């Protein structure tokens, strides 16, 4: 556990599938903040382990009892450790088939971040036309997708970003207002933009540096959706604060619980893929790294220098 330097490239045997497992020859693997949390030890994983929880590729071999996929079919998955690899063994019921128009890179870019944006906007706090949302890291991997979905629903989007370049990307995705948090206090700016009323929901993937002020931007009975912690973990706080600030709601969701059944997974993935096929959801794949450059990918992600999606190519 530690910094990016603890990531090592090792030669391991190609896995053999157990019953109800499939071995996937990986074409692209997603780089996500959950990988950073695993590497840092914030989420406990038995050592040693292979990083990565999102990938797309081709079925190489199938284990006993597998009937729904065959060798040669293209598949994608998420929330299964071991994606920073050339081959990975995955439970068959965690796989989704990739529609022909969608590439492996697009599928790898959409599984974790695309489905996260989808459940945040449609289930955690179901946005509706006329709602006002504050989206932190609006030009990040999830942020750009969430902005697009919220805009299409008809919600007003206030996005926070660290640079004018990122602000331009968020506006192109559909953000109505942009707050450059490196130059302005996002709390006071959000209050100004909402005429003191506050927003209906905050979608916060940043955590430690934004959490307290984000609560102050919510309307009475508004919801704080804390779905990440790129700046660090939020310190413990007294729930009485939620009463004092307007009987607020707070949730700390995870994609895992929104694709908990095979039916949930297939349904959500199919809806995200359909949005991509129809041009309703545009993916921004910013950088492709060789698998051996995983350390650099983590440094870039943690440095918050990136926009859109980072992928590793075996």
pLDDT digits (tens, 9 = 90+) for 195-235: 999 999 999 999 999 999 999 999 999 999 999 988 888 99
3-state secondary structure 212-246: HHHHHCEEEEEEEEECCCCCCCCCCCCCHHHHHCC
* Closest by Cα among 276, 301, 275, 277 to 287: 301
Q: Say what the pTM is.
A: 0.93
* Closest by Cα among 201, 205, 227 to 215: 201
Question: What's the pLDDT score for residue 1?
Answer: 85
* Structure confidence by residue, pLDDT tens digits, 61-85: 999 999 999 999 999 999 999 999 9
User: Can you tell me the distance from the alpha carbon of 294 to that of 289, in angstroms, rounded to the nearest whole number?
Assistant: 7
Residue ranges, the chain, pLDDT below 70: none
Residue 261 burial by Cβ neighbours in a 10 Å radius (0-12, 13-18, 19+): exposed
User: Can you tell me the distance from the alpha carbon of 24 to that of 89, in angstroms, rounded to the nearest whole number?
Assistant: 6
All structural domains of the chain, each given as residue ranges with its CATH number in brackets, are: 4-112+259-313 (3.90.180.10), 129-252 (3.40.50.720)
Dmax of the chain from CA atoms?
62
């Amino acid at each position: 556990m530690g910094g990016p330097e603890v990531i090592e490239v090792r030669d391991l045997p190609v896995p053999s599938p157990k019953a109800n497992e499939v071995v996937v020859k990986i074409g692209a693997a997603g780089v996500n903040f959950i990988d950073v949390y695993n590497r840092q030890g914030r989420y406990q994983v038995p050592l040693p382990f292979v990083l990565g929880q999102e990938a797309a590729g081709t079925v190489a071999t199938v284990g006993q009892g597998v009937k729904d996929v065959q060798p040669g079919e293209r598949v994608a998955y998420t929330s299964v450790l071991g994606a920073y690899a050339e081959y990975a063994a995955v439970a068959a019921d965690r796989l989704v088939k990739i529609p022909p128009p969608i590439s492996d890179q697009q599928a790898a870019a959409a599984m974790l971040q695309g489905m996260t944006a989808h459940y945040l906007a449609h289930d955690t706090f179901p946005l509706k036309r006329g709602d006002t949302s504050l989206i932190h890291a609006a030009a990040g991997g999830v942020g750009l997708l969430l902005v697009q979905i919220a805009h299409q629903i008809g919600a007003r989007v206030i996005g926070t970003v660290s640079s004018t370049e990122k602000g331009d990307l968020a506006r192109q995705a559909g953000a109505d207002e942009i707050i450059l948090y490196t130059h302005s206090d996002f709390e006071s700016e959000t209050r100004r933009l909402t005429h003191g009323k506050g927003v209906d929901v905050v979608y916060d993937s940043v955590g430690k540096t934004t959490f307290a002020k984000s609560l102050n931007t919510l309307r009475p009975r508004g919801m704080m959706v804390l779905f990440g912690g790129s700046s660090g973990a939020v310190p413990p706080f007294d729930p009485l604060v939620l009463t004092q600030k307007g009987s607020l709601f707070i949730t700390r969701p995870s994609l895992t619980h929104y694709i908990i059944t095979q039916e949930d997974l297939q349904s959500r993935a199919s809806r995200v893929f359909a949005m991509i096929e129809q041009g309703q959801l545009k993916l921004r794949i910013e950088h492709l790294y060789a698998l051996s450059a995983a350390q650099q990918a983590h440094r870039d992600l943690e440095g918050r220098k990136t926009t859109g999606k980072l992928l590793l190519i075996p």
